[in-house]
Structure 1
Amino acid sequence: MSVTTRRTRLAAAALAAVTALGGLAACGKDDDDATASGGKPAKLVVDTFGEFGYDEIVKQYEKDTGIKVELRKTAQLNEYRPKIVRALATGKGAADVVALEEGILNEFKANPANWADLGKLVAKDHSSEYLPWKWELGKAPDGRLIGLPTDVGSLAVCYRRDLFQAAKLPVERDQVAALWPDWNAFIETGKKYRAATGKGMLDSVTTASSAVMFQQGGDLFYDKDDNVVADTSASVKSAWDTAIAMADANITAETATWSPEWSAGFKQGTFAATFCPSWMLGIVQENSGPENKGKWDVAPVPGGAGNWGGSWLAVPTQSKYPKEAAKLAEYLTNAQSQVAAFKAKGPLPTNLEALKNPEFLAYTNEYFNNAPTGKIFGDSVSKIQPLHLGPKHQAVKENAFEPALRSYESGQSTKDKAWEQYVKDAKTQGAF
């Protein structure tokens, strides 16, 4: 996950960019949010993207506190970020608790004035309770704690057992893992699948490129001084070359991640595999539907480890109830809640007690053919390589790197032209 260096000298520039773009649109503070008896808020609002698994957890919080919790979910991060930007820029509309994903975290923590200092609001010092690097990343350049750790996106491969069987490939997860000890072997497996079925085994080259890039570690789109290094990063070049090799081998279904075609492809069998961080298990299940229960399974990624995503919970200073909001964030990120969220939707805990919890380690996911997902994803946490993600990592990834790869995958541009376009767009997207 991103062990990110922060440069105080960039804070003002990053803040200017954030302010120009805008901040978090989430909950609007309505008049019916008036405080309840005893000075407590009648309602607190939590904004998240994707699926955090909080639906049942907040019900217990409501019983314990008498405070209603409204969960506002945005499906995709690229739709979620502009909402944050807008609310911070206008000074209104932010939720009481806001999820910040690693790809956008640095962009927002560059201006700590937008965020409450959770170190002063929570009941005690929790720093020893989480993965150390994850805790440190929740701090702003001035040292204040703006985010409590939620999950980490340890990687695996989600694959369709029935489609593998139809292609006369092994279906048991240990045998599937043996198919691809490295990326070249993964490509060869994809070729066999294509020959047997006429279809692409993998959803898209972009899910593979993310896996390779994060597996390599080190500097990605930025160096440690937060200069854009689009064309010189070894991790990015390795990811690019692997993705190009997959496109050349014709092993993908060419369905862009998060597109309607991609979402529908899970149910329709358009592809047989995707690289899935722990948090994506819930998305795979929802897209695939109950009729595909037991058809999906989980195996390790080529190379055995990787990472994609992970978040923190922050409290905007706009919140009318920062103390109660901090308590809610504290509750949602404690060991018990992280285990419950993992069991509900798959976000992998970063709380050390949760990672050692016997219930977590023994957990099997019924939808994914009873795969021991607690062990599979839990074992990979220690293998995550330190990364440096720059201030606009997500923008460079989604608006420069991935579109260029897709243009080559779909045959719309040559290899050289795709790379040239990526380098050009990366400098634009990565600039302050």
Structure 2
Amino acid sequence: MNLTTRRTRLAAGALAAITAVGGLAACSSDDSPAEGEKPAKLVVDTFGEFGYDDLVKEYEQQTGIKVELRKTAQLGDYRPKLVRYLATGKGAADVTALEEGILNEFKANPGNWVDLTPLVADHSKEYLPWKWELGKATDGNKLIGLPTDVGSLAVCYRKDLFQAAGLPTERDEVAALWPDWNGYHQAGQKYKQATGKAFVDSITAVSNGVLFQQGSDLFYDKENNVIADSSPAVRTAWDTATSMVDISAKATTWSPEWFGGFKQGTFATTFCPSWMLGIVQENSGEENKGKWDVATVPGGGGNWGGSWLAVPEQSKYPAEAAKLAEFLTNATSQVAAFKKSGPLPTNLEALKNEDFLTYTNEYFSNAPTGKIFGEVVEKIQPVHLGPKHQAVKENAYEPAMRAFEGGQATKEKAWEQFTKDAVTQGAF
């Protein structure tokens, strides 16, 4: 067994200790509410933008229960908080979002999570089948999470900047520029030659677009061995992305430069899973309304992201928390969240809802985002993500790619560093 497939038993013990301690601490509380007592408040933890602001107000009006919505901007900041909550047995929200990149890690100890099966109606036939199944514990006997969204891919682009560069601006003509990734690169080179400016925010953004189109194992194989140095999907994404360093603004996603770049026009395109629309709008500001548009992604599809809502065992009101999670993930709420901020429904009724199918996003030049994203959602196939996928991606893969992008390492040295770091970050 080589280094990239070796599992570190010590890390496995540490993770088990964290989750076990969390479970024991949660069960030791002596201030449990009386049976049937209605909570005055429920807390919901999310990251990024789930589009729940109006929905929680609606729930408050319906139930008389106050809902506190705690948002963390970045998943990389969200995960350590959740680890700490589970380790100490306190601090977790009543309803907790679990993103696909961290889902398997936190499913490793199902004892930390309430079984939702007896607390909600049977919704198993109402969602994309694979999405529903991934919300279950590994043994399939416990429902840990209710499906929220998937991250169907597209490209967000600045029409005004395209026009200044002499490129087409209509979304169908723009999509025709890049039937594949080579076409996207060529469009970017034309843009840079005409303007002297960067075309895409970063090569890690390109990599995400390519990586989640592969429909195969990424950093782990099916037995959850780390395969960083031999994964064809990862190598394809790496080679495609690093080839585009010449058109990159080198603005790290979630950095101040990245946030500011939307408003300042530092880059003309970024890769937009549907949930990213709200983030682009928020950071571009009202002054850029109507300047952005949405076109199909090179290669014709893919999925980046998506989540589930779970209830930690330490919640004092698991039954009421489950009802809130059920409300936030029903068909009507998923359409409302999409219209608010872009998270793409996984509820089959929502995907057929006329309001969803005909929805146009005014901020993005009235792009028919319901149609653009909805046409590919049922074609999405789940990609196998191992137990520490997010850690490998954020702490090994992307730092190595940024080292190359920033000139601190050659492409070969950066790849070598990634494969070494992936072993450490991917251990479980």
Indicate whether the TM-score tops 0.5. yes
TM-score, normalising length from structure 1?
0.92
Q: 1:313 aligns with which of 309, 313, 316?
A: 309
Cα deviation for residue 407 of structure 1 reads 1.0
User: Structure 1: 5+ residue runs without aligned partners?
Assistant: 1-8, 25-32
- Name the CA shift for 1:60/1:14 in 2 (closer, same or farther; >3 Å): farther
- Name the CA shift for 1:71/1:104 in 2 (closer, same or farther; >3 Å): same
Q: Please show how residues 98-137 of structure 1 align to structure 2 within 5 Å.
A: 98-122=96-120, 124-137=121-134
Quote the residue 1:360 is aligned against. 356
TM-score, normalising length from structure 2?
0.93
Q: Please show how residues 105-254 of structure 1 align to structure 2 within 5 Å.
A: 105-122=103-120, 124-143=121-140, 144-247=142-245, 250-254=246-250
Deviates more, 1:268-277 or 1:381-390: 381-390
Cα deviation for residue 385 of structure 1 reads 3.1
- Are 2:378 and 1:382 aligned? yes
Cα deviation for residue 411 of structure 1 reads 1.3
Q: Structure 1 CA distance, aligned partners of 2:232 and 2:286? A: 42
Quote the residue 2:27 is aligned against. none
> In angstroms, what is the RMSD of aligned CA positions?
2.2
- Name the CA shift for 1:149/1:10 in 2 (closer, same or farther; >3 Å): farther
User: Structure 2: 5+ residue runs without aligned partners?
Assistant: 1-6, 23-30
Q: Please show how residues 4-83 of structure 1 align to structure 2 within 5 Å.
A: 14=12, 16-17=14-15, 19-20=17-18, 39-83=37-81
Cα deviation for residue 324 of structure 1 reads 0.3
Which amino acid letter does the alignment assign opposite residue 92 of structure 2?
A
Q: Structure 2 CA distance, aligned partners of 1:165 and 1:233? A: 39
Cα deviation for residue 134 of structure 1 reads 0.3
Quote the residue 1:399 is aligned against. 395
Cα deviation for residue 120 of structure 1 reads 1.5
Quote the residue 1:5 is aligned against. none
Cα deviation for residue 223 of structure 1 reads 0.2
The answer on whether the counterparts of 1:23 and 1:86 sit within 8 Å (CA) in structure 2 is no
The answer on whether the counterparts of 1:154 and 1:306 sit within 8 Å (CA) in structure 2 is yes
- Name the CA shift for 1:407/1:307 in 2 (closer, same or farther; >3 Å): same
Which amino acid letter does the alignment assign opposite residue 61 of structure 1?
Y
Q: Please show how residues 300-379 of structure 1 align to structure 2 within 5 Å.
A: 300-379=296-375
- Name the CA shift for 1:23/1:67 in 2 (closer, same or farther; >3 Å): farther
The answer on whether the counterparts of 1:22 and 1:82 sit within 8 Å (CA) in structure 2 is no
Q: Structure 2 CA distance, aligned partners of 1:131 and 1:170? A: 36
Which amino acid letter does the alignment assign opposite residue 198 of structure 1?
G
Q: Percent identity?
A: 75
Cα deviation for residue 410 of structure 1 reads 1.4
Cα deviation for residue 19 of structure 1 reads 4.1
Cα deviation for residue 406 of structure 1 reads 1.1
The answer on whether the counterparts of 1:19 and 1:85 sit within 8 Å (CA) in structure 2 is no
- Name the CA shift for 1:12/1:145 in 2 (closer, same or farther; >3 Å): farther
Q: Structure 1 CA distance, aligned partners of 2:8 and 2:37? A: 40
Quote the residue 1:290 is aligned against. 286
Quote the residue 2:83 is aligned against. 85
- Are 2:419 and 1:426 aligned? no
Cα deviation for residue 383 of structure 1 reads 2.9
Which amino acid letter does the alignment assign opposite residue 271 of structure 1?
F
Quote the residue 1:30 is aligned against. none
Q: Which secondary structure does the structure 2 equivalent of 1:421 belong to? A: helix
- Are 2:412 and 1:412 aligned? no
Which amino acid letter does the alignment assign opposite residue 136 of structure 2?
K
Quote the residue 2:269 is aligned against. 273
The answer on whether the counterparts of 2:48 and 2:74 sit within 8 Å (CA) in structure 1 is yes
Q: Structure 2 CA distance, aligned partners of 1:51 and 1:97? A: 15
The answer on whether the counterparts of 1:11 and 1:111 sit within 8 Å (CA) in structure 2 is no
- Name the CA shift for 1:414/1:10 in 2 (closer, same or farther; >3 Å): closer
Residues 303-340 of structure 1 show CA distances to partners (whole Å, capped at 9, x for unaligned) of 11011100000000000000000000000000000000
Q: Structure 1 CA distance, aligned partners of 2:286 and 2:376? A: 28
Q: Which secondary structure does the structure 2 equivalent of 1:219 belong to? A: coil
Which amino acid letter does the alignment assign opposite residue 223 of structure 1?
D
The answer on whether the counterparts of 2:94 and 2:311 sit within 8 Å (CA) in structure 1 is yes
Cα deviation for residue 16 of structure 1 reads 3.8
Q: Structure 2 CA distance, aligned partners of 1:368 and 1:94? A: 36
Q: Which secondary structure does the structure 2 equivalent of 1:73 belong to? A: strand
